[in-house]
Chains A and B, each alone.
Chain A
Amino acid sequence: MARKQASDRWWFHLHTWIGLKLSILMSFVLITGTLAVFSYEIDWLLNPEMRASESVIEPNWGAAFDTLRAEYPDVDLLSLDRYAGSWFALQAVLNTRWEEIGRLWFDPVTGHLNGSTAWFNVQRFFRMTHRHLMLPTRIGIPIVSALAIPLLLSLISGLMIYKKFWRGFFHLPRTKRKTRIWVGDLHRWLGLWSTWFVLLIVLTSVWYFVEVMGGAAPRFPESAAPATREAVLPATLNGAAINEMVAKARQELPGLSVQRITFPQSPEGKVLVQGALTATLVRPRSNVVTFDPITLEVLGTYRGEDLNIHQRISEMADPLHFGYFGGLWTKAIWFLFGCAMSALSITGCVIYGKRLLPTRRQLSKALA
């Protein structure tokens, strides 16, 4: 019995120690991560340039490309993409001659230039602060992803000290009791319901740690080399050629929903048409058709199912961590559970303060 009590006390101290000592950093990472779920949508609300005039499933990639070449002939085009949804305009990511990264937005139907926005936006703010605290990624990612270990210990210790926790799912917080009681109830209740989510975030964060420490997945299958050329982007590459590549990509991978076209950055480079297909929980770069930008010949093709297990784990991490794999519905779930995790960190702090408050008051009185 005494041994059991000692064990319980040890788990309790571990839970309190982790929750307290890391609360500032953990809360910051959790809150930025939670808001990052809807960061694209926040940018969409803030910037009218990012909005499509009408919701279309298959945008006119070629029209956007032609407009871009006419309006900004001197930029290095990195990619044309549309990730977030059919209500978003097509985005071009580019590099200027003075090496500034920028974004241009095009209407997905007409290709009309809606305008430009800065590279550093709400989405980048939340992504970069959450992912690596704005530090160089080699330093920042290990610091943030290493929080997975205290998070896991916190989860295990929480379950160890919560007696018969499986009975607690439907014990709603007693909101009419004093703060210490109802915040404690809320902490336990949120903790129980978000157990699966905490575990998911722990696993994906451990993967990010492994990835940055050298365990990254091998490169994707290589395609054939394109014909030699002098320019990075041949002058013959126009909107019609882009649309032809998109059509050929759909022939190569029937059902491909094109989400991104990446452009070469050297005269040996290729055009990659990427998107969503049948494989679940992969990024658009897992389904790819590669083209020669001069001949428009298909140089290679692969799909999510062709990747090995290591690559699939790597591809799976982002959709699972970010929650975008099921559209707005899964994002909403991820956001809610992100709020719950953030609340766990904050309510833990309140419990700590409130628990010690009477003790400190008694001590002060005794000393007076």
Chain B
Amino acid sequence: MNAWAIWWRGHGAWRWVCLGLVTMALVLTVVYEPIALSWTDHGERELAGTTVSLATWGRPDETFEVRLSSKAPFKGELHFAGQREIIDLTDAAELDLRVPDDLTVIEIKLVANDQEATWHLGRRLR
């Protein structure tokens, strides 16, 4: 048995307490995100006779998770970074939008009955 093995065994149960705390700190470092861990509400817009609200989760990275909800059934199109998604809401829907690498400004537009509503979220950080 070498010196390090003696040291390791000498800890007794304390090694698991200490190692557990250190391992947890390192794991939490890997999963840590400096961003709210909840839906961020971006407000409501009046569109096609109903009120639609938009919320997002996380940052616009490779994808951007958005949630649309309306007070009454809503049919329309979502426009984002050149993509179009058909939206048919009875209550709420969640979708992952693909974010192109070269996209700098985050703007989400809903179109219905020749009307449109825009959520301008601003410029990406990187």
B59 pairs with A20, CB closer than 8 A = no
Asked if A294 lies at the interface with its beta carbon under 8 angstroms from chain B, I say no
With contacts A134-B32, A135-B28 known, is A22 near B18, CB below 8 A? yes
Q: CA–CA, A100 to B58, complex, Å?
A: 8
* CA gap between A75 and B60 in the complex, in Å: 15
- In B6-60, the 8 Å CB interface with A consists of 6-7, 10-12, 14-15, 17-19, 21-22, 24-26, 28-29, 32-36, 40, 42, 56, 58-60
Q: Which of B71-79, B85-93, B115-123 contacts A (4 or more CB under 8 A)?
A: B115-123
- Residue A120, interface by CB 8 Å: yes
Q: Please determine whether A74 and B25 come into contact, CB atoms closer than 8 angstroms.
A: no
**Cα(A27)–Cα(B34), bound, Å:** 27
Residues of B within 8 A of A102 (CB): 34, 125
Residues 143-164 of chain A, each 1 if its beta carbon lies under 8 Å from chain B, else 0 = 1000000000000000000000
Asked if A25 is an interface residue, CB under 8 A from chain B, the answer is yes
Chain A residue numbers with a CB within 8 Å of B125 are: 96, 100, 102, 104, 116, 118
CB distance from B29 to the nearest CB of A (A): 6
Cβ of A225 < 8 Å from any Cβ of B? no
Task: Write out the residue numbers on chain A whose beta carbons fall within 8 Å of the beta carbon of B7.
Answer: 20, 23, 349-350, 352-353
- B14, B17, B25, B36, most chain A CB atoms within 10 A: B25
- A residues within 8 A CB of B42? 97
Per the 8 Å Cβ criterion, residues 330-368 of A in contact with B are: 349-350, 352-354, 356-357, 360, 364
Q: CA of A360 to CA of B14 in the docked complex: distance in angstroms?
A: 21
Residues of B within 8 A of A100 (CB): 34-35, 59, 125
Query: Is the pair B121, A97 in contact by a Cβ cutoff of 8 Å?
Result: yes
- Separation of A104 and B124 alpha carbons in the complex (Å): 12
Number of A residues contacting the other chain (C-beta, 8 Å)?
A: 41
With A353-B3, A353-B7 known as contacts, the answer to whether A24 contacts B15 (CB < 8 A) is yes
Query: Are the CB atoms of B18 and A98 closer together than 8 Å?
Result: no
B42 to chain A, nearest CB (A): 7
Q: Could you tell me the distance in whole angstroms from the C-beta of B45 to the nearest C-beta in chain A?
A: 15
Tell me if A21 counts as interface (CB < 8 A to partner B): yes
Point out the residues of chain B lying under 8 angstroms from A350, CB to CB: 3, 7
Q: Give the shortest distance, in Å, between A118 (CB) and chain B (any CB).
A: 7
Instruction: Report whether A116 and B126 are in contact in the complex, using a CB–CB cutoff of 8 Å.
Output: yes
Taking a contact as CB atoms under 8 Å apart, the answer to whether A24 and B22 are in contact is yes
Identity of the chain B residue whose Cβ is nearest the Cβ of A352 in the assembled complex: B7
Between B2, B4, B15, B21, the greatest number of chain A beta carbons within 10 A of the residue's beta carbon is seen for B21
Alpha-carbon gap, A28 to B33, bound state (A): 22
Residue among A72, A102, A134 with most chain B CB within 10 A: A134
Contact among B6, B11, B21, B59 with A98 in the assembled complex (CB-CB below 8 Å): B59
Contact indicator A134/B28 (Cβ below 8 Å): yes
Chain A residue with Cβ nearest B16: A24
For A23, the chain B residues whose CB sits under 8 A away are: 7, 11, 18
Closest to A25 in B: B18
Residue from B19, B36, B120, B122 in contact with A24 in the complex, judged by beta carbons closer than 8 Å: B19
CA of A119 to CA of B40 in the docked complex: distance in angstroms? Answer: 19
For A71, list chain B residues within 8 Å (CB): 123
In the bound complex, residues from chain B placing their C-beta under 8 Å from that of A133 are: 21-22, 24-25, 28
**CB pair B59 A24 closer than 8 Å:** no
Given A25-B18, A352-B6, the answer on whether A98 and B40 have CB atoms closer than 8 Å is yes
Whether B35 lies near A99 (C-beta < 8 A) is: yes
**Are the C-beta atoms of A134 and B24 separated by less than 8 Å?**
yes
Say yes or no: is A101 at the interface (Cβ < 8 Å to chain B). yes
Alpha-carbon gap, A310 to B70, bound state (A): 53
| A134 lies within 8 A of B25 (CB) | yes
Indicate if A73 sits at the interface (CB-CB under 8 A): yes
Interface residue from B4, B25, B106 paired with A353 (Cβ < 8 Å)? B4
Which residues of A, 123-139, contact B by the 8 Å Cβ criterion?
Answer: 124-125, 128-129, 133-135
Neighbour of B40 across the interface among A21, A97, A353, CB < 8 A: A97
Q: Pick 15 A–B contacts, CB within 8 A, sort by A.
A: A20-B7, A24-B19, A98-B58, A99-B36, A99-B40, A100-B35, A101-B35, A118-B126, A120-B32, A120-B33, A120-B34, A133-B21, A133-B24, A357-B2, A364-B1
Apart from A75-B122, A96-B59, A98-B121: 4 A-B pairs, beta carbons within 8 A = A24-B15, A98-B60, A119-B34, A352-B10
